[in-house]
Structure 1
């Protein structure tokens, strides 16, 4: 059974001129122990989707879905307070901007201590203070902060943004969540520190069987750590499959463009050459194209693309496109399906 099962989730924003559809019928499922990547350029709705999952969107955002289940429980039937109470026990999220998430008036040690649940401790009540301090120090060491004494007695503004990001990761791990949502967790870190954090997430996934949703704009980086990947563009679902399928056999023109712009795909080009990119930029919410939102930038766009494409699955490799790549594969698949139906 899926831990998280979302079908056709839409998010609308209240504006002076009416509601704007920011996320348009996106589906996402995460299994127990799965390490899934969610990729797309800035403005594609990745962070918005993550915030909708844990229920921290402001009142001006409106979330609707055909299905929104967590461990078999229909979250849409719960009140917002009941949903938050349920999800706060099982899901943790690492946000992009740690300085805006940490309390500027409270010491780091106190914020970490508050995040640890009493159920993790055993023994008599007078032993809890020592156990809590040891647990806080252990969390800091786990995320690579060796000078814990200085960190515990500091306020967020006294630390670097990279250290604050590590503290945010420690707070997220404090409750030992079943699902960890990491929204660009290494955006403010150097390459060596990034590798350390990604290895930490991989160890949590492998040793603790923790499910992880890793959000990033860097497709190539996700391929080193994730087992499955979902691609979004401008609030719409684009493609989903195993990491190998997405990187080696992309079916959507947008996914193909992400792969072509990666370092691995450009090792053979001459020095100072231009990378392969799609023309134009991602549309703003006030001027969204009808149908497939990639249409104005897509090299394969035709008149049919003014209608939103349906999701097609090829043995688990899902794509939302009227004219996907590897059309020969698609044609053979459809012929096979017709043969099967004819024999029934």
Structure 2
């Protein structure tokens, strides 16, 4: 059974000129112990989808879905309060900018202490302060912060961005979630810090069997840490499959462009050669193309592309395109550093 099972989820935005369909019928499923990558360039709707799952979108956003199940429970049948209580207990989210998510006026130790669930505390009430402190120290050690005393007595602005991200992960883990959503967890970080954060998430998946939805605009980075990948473009589903399928044999022109622009796929390209790119840029919400939204930029676009393409399934490799890039299977180049025992 899937932990999270979403079918045809759409998100609309209220604007002065009417409602705009920002996310158009996206389907997403995550199994227990799986690391699912969600990739697409900025503006593709990845963060919107994550916030819709968490139920933290503002009232101007409207969410609709044919199916929205969490661990077999139909969330659409629950009240908003019941849905939030269930999701906030089982799902945690790490946001892009840790500095802006932490309270700048409160010590890190106090913020972590507030995140500790009361149900984890036992004994008499006068013992709970000590238990909270011990739980905070344990969380900081779990995310790789050994100098816990210094960290707990610091304000967020006194810590580096990498340390703040570790603190955010510790706060997320305080509730012992089943699913962790990491929205661009290493944005604007140096490569060394990026690798440390990804390794931390990998350990959580491998040793705690925690499912992770890893959101990024960098496809090449995701191939090292995920079991499966879903690709989005301008609020539409593009392609989904195992990490090997997506990177080794992309079927959608957009996915092919993402792979073609990565250094890993261009090891044999001469020095200073231009990598593969698509002309133009992602459309804005006020001027979305009809049909396939990649149409104006797609090198394979034809008249049929003014209609929304159906999703085709090629042995678990799903693609939404009128003219998919179906090729003969080539020699498999497995992605190294895979983690955990999740679905593939």
Cα displacement (A) at 1:158? 2.7
Confirm or deny: 8 A CA contact 1:161 1:188 kept in the other structure: no
Alignment of 1:90-129 (within 5 A): 90-129=90-129
Given that residues 162 and 188 in structure 1 are in contact (C-alpha distance below 8 angstroms), is that contact kept between their aligned partners in structure 2? no
Distance 1:235 1:320, change over 3 A: same
Residue of structure 2 in register with 1:63 after alignment: 63
- Cα drift, residue 162 of structure 1: 2.5
Structure 2: any 5+ residue segments left out of the alignment?
330-344
C-alpha separation between the residues in 2 aligned to 1:272 and 1:26?
38
In the superposition, relative to structure 1, how do residues 188 and 130 fare at CA in structure 2: closer, same or farther (>3 Å)?
A: farther
Q: Which residue of 2 aligns with 1:42?
A: 42
Deviations 1:233-279 (A, max 9, x none): 00000000111111101111111111111111122222222111111
Q: CA separation in 2, counterparts of 1:69 and 1:123?
A: 36
Higher mean C-alpha displacement, 224-233 vs 119-128? 119-128
Distance 2:26 2:187 in 1: 25
Distance in 1 (alpha carbons) for counterparts of 2:275 and 2:154: 44
Q: Which moved more, 1:90-99 or 1:152-161?
A: 152-161
Structure 1 window deviating more from structure 2 (106-115 vs 125-134): it is: 125-134
Match runs of 1:194-343 below 5 Å? 194-326=194-326
Find the counterpart in structure 1 of residue 193 from structure 2. 193
Partner of 1:341: none
CA distance in 1 between counterparts of 2:186 and 2:139 reads 17
Q: Structure 1 stretches of 5 or more lacking a match?
A: 330-344
**SS, match of residue 283 in structure 1:** coil
Of the structure 1 ranges 18-27 and 269-278, higher mean CA displacement relative to structure 2 is found in 269-278
Q: What is the TM-score of this pair, normalised by structure 1?
A: 0.92
SS at match of 1:180: strand
CA distance in structure 2 between the partners assigned to 1:189 and 1:328 by the alignment: 39
Residue in 2 that maps onto 1:138: 138
CA distance in 2, matches of 1:198, 1:161: 15
Post-superposition offset of 1:327? 6.0
For 2:187 and 2:141, the matched residues in 1 are separated by 20
**Shift in Å at residue 203 of structure 1?**
1.5
How far apart, in 2, do the equivalents of 1:115 and 1:101 lie? Answer: 14
Give the whole-Å Cα distance in 2 for the aligned partners of 1:256 and 1:328. Answer: 15
Q: With the length of structure 2 as denominator, give the TM-score of the two structures.
A: 0.92
The separation in 2 between residues aligned to 1:135 and 1:192, in whole angstroms, is 28
Q: CA RMSD in A?
A: 1.4
Q: Deviations over 1:60-96 (max 9, x none)?
A: 0000011111111111222222111111110000000
Q: What is the deviation of 1:161? A: 2.6
- Does the CA-based 8 Å contact 1:143-1:166 persist in structure 2? yes
Number of residue equivalences: 329
Q: Distance in 2 between matches of 1:288 and 1:189?
A: 32
d(CA) in 2 for partners of 1:226 and 1:125? 43
**How far off is 1:124 after superposition?**
4.0
SS in 2 for 1:220: helix
